[in-house]
Chains A and B, each alone.
Chain A
Amino acid sequence: MTATVKYDEVEAGQEIPARDFPVSRLSLVMYAGASGDFNVIHWNERIAKSVGLPDVIAHGMFTMAQGGRFVTDWAGDPGAVVDYGVRFSAPVVVPDDDQGAVITISGVVEEKLGDNKVVVALKAYSGDSRVLSKARAVVKLA
Chain B
Amino acid sequence: MALNRDFIGRKFPPSEPYEVSRVKIREFAAAIGDDNPIYRDREAAKAAGHPDVIAPPTFPIVFSMNSAAAVLADPDLGLNFAMVVHGEQRFEYTRPIHAGDVLSSSSEVVEIRSVGRNEFLTLRSEVRDEAGELVCTAFNTIVERGGAA
Q: Which one of A37, A59, A62, A78 has the greatest number of beta carbons of chain B within 10 Å?
A: A78
* Shortest Cβ gap from B90 to chain A (Å): 3
In the complex where A64-B89, A79-B38, A83-B93 touch, is A27 in contact with B58 (Cβ < 8 A)?
Answer: no
Instruction: Say yes or no: A51 contacts B58, CB within 8 Å.
Output: no
In the complex where A79-B96, A85-B139 touch, is A72 in contact with B57 (Cβ < 8 A)?
Answer: yes
- Confirm or deny: B88 has a beta carbon within 8 angstroms of a beta carbon on chain A: yes
* Shortest Cβ gap from A65 to chain B (Å): 4
Inter-chain contacts of B70 with A (CB < 8 A): none
* Complex: A137 Cα to B92 Cα, angstroms: 10
Known A-B contacts: A34-B32, A60-B89, A84-B91. Give 9 more (CB < 8 A): A1-B48, A34-B27, A34-B31, A65-B32, A68-B58, A78-B36, A78-B54, A85-B90, A86-B88
Inter-chain contacts of A66 with B (CB < 8 A): 32-33
- Confirm or deny: A96 has a beta carbon within 8 angstroms of a beta carbon on chain B: no
- Confirm or deny: A101 has a beta carbon within 8 angstroms of a beta carbon on chain B: no
Instruction: Say yes or no: A68 contacts B56, CB within 8 Å.
Output: yes
Bin chain B's interface residue count: 20 to 34
Inter-chain contacts of A137 with B (CB < 8 A): 57
Inter-chain contacts of B83 with A (CB < 8 A): 51
Inter-chain contacts of A69 with B (CB < 8 A): 32-34, 36, 56
By beta carbon, the residue of chain A nearest B32 is A65
Partner of A72, one of B36, B87, B89, B90: B36
Partner of B28, one of A21, A35, A60: A35
By beta carbon, the residue of chain A nearest B96 is A79
B-side binding surface: helix, strand, loop or mixed? mixed
By beta carbon, the residue of chain B nearest A83 is B92
Residues of chain B at the chain A interface (Cβ within 8 Å) = 24, 27-28, 30-34, 36, 38-39, 48-50, 54, 56-58, 61-62, 82-83, 85-93, 95-96, 139
* Complex: A22 Cα to B28 Cα, angstroms: 17
- Confirm or deny: A7 has a beta carbon within 8 angstroms of a beta carbon on chain B: no
* Complex: A47 Cα to B140 Cα, angstroms: 24
* Complex: A73 Cα to B37 Cα, angstroms: 11
Inter-chain contacts of B96 with A (CB < 8 A): 1, 78-79
Inter-chain contacts of A35 with B (CB < 8 A): 28, 31, 61-62
In the complex where A60-B85, A61-B89 touch, is A81 in contact with B57 (Cβ < 8 A)?
Answer: yes
Partner of B58, one of A30, A33, A36, A61: A61
Inter-chain contacts of B89 with A (CB < 8 A): 60-61, 64, 85-86, 88
